[in-house]
Amino acid sequence: MDLKPFIREIPDFPKPGISFKDITTLLQDPTGLKATIDLFAEKCSDLNPEFIVGMESRGFIFGAPLAYKMDIGFIPVRKPGKLPAAVHAIKYDLEYGTDCLEMHQDAVHPGSRILMVDDLIATGGTAGATAKLIQTIGCELVGCAFVIELKDLKGRDRLPQVPIISLVEY
């Protein structure tokens, strides 16, 4: 199923010249949402992950139902201070500063097979940092799955050499 008709494009948001890809229209349509999760499951099943890692916050929206459908665990990766137990953390550079992502230390064990899921890959900063965090703690990143990929921004170049699945490309 072609998911593009479910994604609204908003010109000049958040600033002039940007064409924002709005997934809220995909989420509110039961056919589009179900098709998204079903397509992810179909395209990712051969990767045999043990866990899905979803990045705050839209990675939660797609990662948790995909984990349910695949009958595997879901692990949230969050901004600092949001997780209550001991965490693994990674700092990464942004265009104008730095940011940090965290995952509970007891969420996975070294060697766990992880599929990373998010709504969109653009420049690859957050996805690249999450991939590095997964690998740094000794887990195997078996693939990355995104609803949308903005090809011109070359975000996949910041990811390890693993299967990268994009359902919609712009």
What are the residue numbers of the active site?
58, 95
Copy the structure tokens of residue 18. Answer: 């940007």
d(CA 9, CA 25): 10
Nearest to 39 by CA among 62, 72, 7, 8: 62
Residue corresponding to tokens 């051969």: 46
- Two tokens, residue 61: 């929206």
**Which tokens is 139 given?**
């887990």
